[in-house]
């Protein structure tokens, strides 16, 4: 059984102006996501600025989210690292806190061979008992999980049960699903490819868009899974301008700006990320308004 079906939000980590984590605001947006129809919470992923959280902050944010959500939705903790033993530590701690699953990004900077990826993910998965979702995002990590590698892991490591595919390569995803033979649940990692991924057997999305449009993102997936493919496709296409604006600068710069434009007050970004360029911010605000979101002046 899938950890979740539908729209999982890759949630932002709110900050005070001094760039400390704003737990009160995190609690507010978690409640809003639950009320808004989101199907799962993904905490401390790329969108959550996990790479600039200390280990202590990283684990505190996971623990807070697990306790706040309190089993109302699955909470999936981003615990990946380019250091295998660090990822083991973070994953074991997330399991202790009650996370329902972990999301493991491919090693970045030092990267890995395909043999190294198998060893890395196997070591982490075997150190815990909760499910693992692999996260393939070569555009950010410089490391691509080939279809053969993902299929091997899905078939040979019992708790590696899913993959978030953000390679953007639909042909690669199709080959992965052919080779996996049902051993991996597939989630879109790109908001502009939700419907194409669902058409290849996907069961949902891990979404940036859902931060600002949780109900609409849920509907894209639920319409497809309920058999209304035309409605799902229409909703996907209607969201494209906003999705493109949300990625006109590196994630999560635009989505944090978007949430602040909605009055969510999620605060600034940690370096090396910087505030959005004014030209891009105007484009984002227009796309939000065109999509029907209420942007503050």
Which residues are marked as active site?
Answer: 135, 164
Bridge pairing between strands 101-105 and 132-136: parallel
Encode burial over 26-62: b for 16+ CB neighbours within 10 A, e otherwise: bbbbbeebbebbbbbbbbbbbbbbbbebeeebbbbbb
Would you call the peptide bond into 272 cis, given omega within 30 degrees of 0 as the criterion? Answer: yes
Dihedral angle sign, alpha carbons of residues 151, 153, 156, 162: negative
Residue 233 and residue 10: Cα distance in Å, rounded?
A: 22
């Amino acid at each position: 059984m899938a950890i979740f079906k539908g729209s999982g939000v890759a949630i932002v980590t709110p900050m005070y102006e001094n760039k400390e984590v704003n737990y009160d605001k995190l609690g507010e947006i978690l409640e809003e996501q639950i009320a808004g129809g989101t199907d799962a919470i993904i905490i401390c992923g790329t969108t959550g600025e996990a790479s600039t959280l200390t280990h202590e902050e990283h684990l505190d944010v996971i623990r807070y989210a697990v306790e706040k959500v309190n089993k109302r939705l699955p909470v999936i903790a981003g615990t990946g690292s380019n250091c295998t033993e660090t990822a083991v530590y973070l994953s074991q701690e997330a399991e202790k806190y009650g996370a329902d699953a972990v999301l493991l990004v491919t090693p970045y900077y030092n990267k890995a061979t395909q043999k190294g990826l198998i060893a890395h993910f196997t070591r982490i998965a075997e150190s815990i008992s909760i499910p693992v979702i692999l996260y393939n995002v070569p555009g950010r990590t410089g490391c691509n999980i080939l279809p053969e590698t993902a299929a091997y892991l899905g078939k040979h490591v019992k708790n590696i049960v899913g993959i978030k595919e953000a390679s953007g390569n639909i042909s690669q995803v199709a080959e992965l699903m052919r080779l996996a033979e049902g051993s991996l649940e597939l989630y879109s990692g790109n908001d502009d490819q939700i419907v194409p991924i669902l058409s290849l057997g996907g069961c949902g999305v891990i979404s940036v868009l859902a931060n600002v449009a949780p109900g609409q993102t849920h509907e894209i997936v639920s319409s497809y899974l309920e058999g209304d493919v035309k409605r799902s496709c229409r909703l996907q296409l209607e969201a494209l301008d906003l999705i493109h604006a949300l990625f006109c600068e590196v994630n999560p710069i635009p989505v944090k700006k978007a949430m602040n434009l909605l009055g969510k007050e999620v605060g600034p970004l940690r370096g090396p990320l910087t505030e959005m360029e004014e030209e891009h911010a105007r484009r984002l605000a227009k796309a939000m308004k065109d999509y029907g979101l209420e942007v503050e002046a």
